[in-house]
């Protein structure tokens, strides 16, 4: 009975996360990666959830892969900093430079935290310009740290999103203190997307 209960709870957790991801207009592949559900089950879920006339759009094609998007304009830069702060606040990314990364949790729990951080960002920023797929990509890119990274200001402790390969020093957004140049490196191993084959492995 206990095995059955555990399996039921896991399955229910997967479905609850999948529904949150559908509402966030995540791609089918993204939903499959985070939940471990099969493509077929994700498609059935989407069909049963999205009724004709629903406001939810479906995105097709590849997920975004250009980090240049996040700092392209002053508005996007602002959105990116708010979202990055939420990713730190909700434990998707580490809280301190070179500090211990949050303990890696199961993909479903990570997916929940990512949704929580994205929900908070969209509540704070009116007319949020970063969609969920890009938010997931930003979390990946910041946790890798080889193109853009988090840098904490030594003066005020504020968190900044900066280009990892920049040649010039930049100022902290919060206090204008100059942020020293740092060699690219991983900010932590907080979050990486679950393997694309997860759904196949679980056989669900």
Stretch that binds Zn ion, among 12-20, 23-31, 135-143, 170-178 (CB under 5 A): 170-178
DSSP 162: E
- CB atoms < 10 A from the CB of 121, how many? 23
When asked if residue 156 is in the footprint of Zn ion (CB under 5 A), the reply is yes
Stretch that binds Zn ion, among 15-23, 118-126, 128-136, 152-160 (CB under 5 A): 152-160
When asked if residue 170 is in the footprint of Zn ion (CB under 5 A), the reply is no
When asked if residue 15 is in the footprint of Zn ion (CB under 5 A), the reply is no
When asked if residue 175 is in the footprint of Zn ion (CB under 5 A), the reply is yes
Smallest gap, in angstroms, from Cβ of residue 160 to Zn ion? Answer: 8
In angstroms, rounded to a whole number, what is the distance separating the alpha carbons of residues 101 and 108?
Answer: 18
Nearer of residues 165 and 175 to Zn ion, judged by Cβ:
175
When asked if residue 158 is in the footprint of Zn ion (CB under 5 A), the reply is yes
Beta strands in 61-199 (DSSP E): 148-152, 159-163, 170-171, 178-179
CA dist list (Å): 31 to 23, 92, 121, 154: 11, 17, 20, 38
Can you state the percent helix, strand and coil of the chain, rounding each to 5? 50, 5, 45
Smallest gap, in angstroms, from Cβ of residue 81 to Zn ion? Answer: 12
Nearer of residues 109 and 176 to Zn ion, judged by Cβ:
176
């Amino acid at each position: 009975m206990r095995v059955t209960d555990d399996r039921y709870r896991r399955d229910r957790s997967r479905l609850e996360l999948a529904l949150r991801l559908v509402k966030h207009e995540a791609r089918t592949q993204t939903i499959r990666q985070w939940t471990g559900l099969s493509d077929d089950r994700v498609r059935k879920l989407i069909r049963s959830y999205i009724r004709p006339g629903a406001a939810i759009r479906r995105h097709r094609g590849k997920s975004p892969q250009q980090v240049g998007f996040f700092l392209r304009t002053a508005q996007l830069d602002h959105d990116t900093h708010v979202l990055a702060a939420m990713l730190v606040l909700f434990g998707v990314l580490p809280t301190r430079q070179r500090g211990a990364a949050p303990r890696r949790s199961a993909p479903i729990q990570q997916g929940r935290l990512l949704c929580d951080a994205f929900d908070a960002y969209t509540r704070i920023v009116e007319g949020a310009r970063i969609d969920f797929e890009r938010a997931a990509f930003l979390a990946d890119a910041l946790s890798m740290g080889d193109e853009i990274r988090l840098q904490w200001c030594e003066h005020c402790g504020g968190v900044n999103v900066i280009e990892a390969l920049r040649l010039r020093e930049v100022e902290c957004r919060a206090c204008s203190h100059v942020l020293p140049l740092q060699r690219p490196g991983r900010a932590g191993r907080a979050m990486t997307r679950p393997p694309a084959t997860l759904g196949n492995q679980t056989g669900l």
